[in-house]
């Protein structure tokens, strides 16, 4: 009788170890994923901060020279840059808005600027 009890006890111990391993893996994988995502976001934010000034200068130069491909390229990069300021967005809205009538290629960038403007100026209903 003792050997049956011992094998049952060993089997239960083995199942508990498997359950613990599954639990550790299940908990640690999302935590590891969150840590990786956090570092990726912080690296991206630093990269955006570094490129904002140079992209802005290139965008302004493209505007003055009416270089449509440059306006589209650097305007899109600026819109996606999380460090873009409100005043820069307003300048982009005005300058691209003036050129969109002459150059239909700027329509998509104009929509991106407009959507960003709406996003930043949205009304949070229910807050008094």
Q: What is the model's pTM? A: 0.67
Number of domains observed in the structure of the chain = 1
Q: Is residue 125 part of a domain?
A: no
Q: C-alpha distances in angstroms, 60 versus 15, 47, 119, 121?
A: 66, 20, 23, 24
Residue 126 domain-assigned?
Answer: no
Provide the domain limits for residue 109.
2-120
Residue 22 makes CB contacts below 8 A (sequence gap 6+) with none
Q: Is residue 112 part of a domain?
A: yes
> Residues 6 or more apart from 82 whose CB is under 8 A from it?
45, 48
Q: Is residue 38 part of a domain?
A: yes
Q: Judge whether 96 lies within some domain.
A: yes
The DSSP symbol for 110 reads H
pLDDT tens-digit profile of 62-115? Answer: 999 999 999 999 999 999 999 999 999 999 999 999 999 999 999 999 999 999
């Amino acid at each position: 009788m003792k050997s049956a009890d011992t094998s049952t006890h060993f089997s239960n111990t083995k199942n508990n170890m498997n359950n613990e391993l599954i639990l550790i893996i299940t908990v640690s994988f999302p935590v590891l994923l969150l840590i990786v995502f956090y570092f990726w976001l912080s690296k991206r934010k630093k990269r955006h901060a570094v490129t904002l000034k140079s992209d802005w200068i290139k965008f302004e130069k493209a505007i003055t020279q009416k270089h449509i491909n440059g306006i589209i390229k650097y305007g899109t990069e600026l819109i996606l840059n999380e460090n873009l300021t409100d005043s820069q967005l307003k300048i982009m809205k005005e300058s691209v808005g003036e050129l969109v009538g002459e150059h239909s290629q700027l329509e998509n960038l104009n929509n991106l600027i407009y959507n960003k403007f709406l996003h930043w100026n949205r009304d949070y209903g229910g807050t008094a």
